[in-house]
Homo-oligomer: A and B are copies of this chain.
């Protein structure tokens, strides 16, 4: 059911995804697209709605601090189909745990800095 799919140019795709055209091409070169982005007769890229959605998911992974290389591993698993579901789940969960630890570290550092802020605020005659 990909009937009424309106494809878009790379510029439009950039607008929809919030990435630059450079980054969209870069992701494609890096093997992050689930399926090849199809082309107009002119060889210009035509992004389908599914492509846009997929890029949205990639962006989620990147926003969650997953390195490009690991995103690619994940994508490779997805392309291998259902047999890799468990592996994918495991990967996401492990990543989740490691990021949570990282966030914890950052929070701790922020807390230490807060202590510094508190000291300044006091000393600063701000009561």
Contacts and interface: CB of A to CB of B under 8 A. Distances in A.
A99 B93 contact: no
A33 to B, nearest CB: 17
A interface residue count range (under 10 / 10 to 19 / 20 to 34 / 35 or more): 35 or more
Interface in A108-127: 108-110, 112-114, 116-117, 120-121, 123-127
Interface of A, secondary structure class, is: helix
Given A63-B105, A103-B103, A105-B63, A110 B96 contact: yes
Instruction: Tell me the number of copies of this protein.
Output: 2
B60 A124 contact: no
A37 interface: no
Nearest to A114: B96
B127 A64 contact: no
A30 interface: no
Nearest to A81: B127
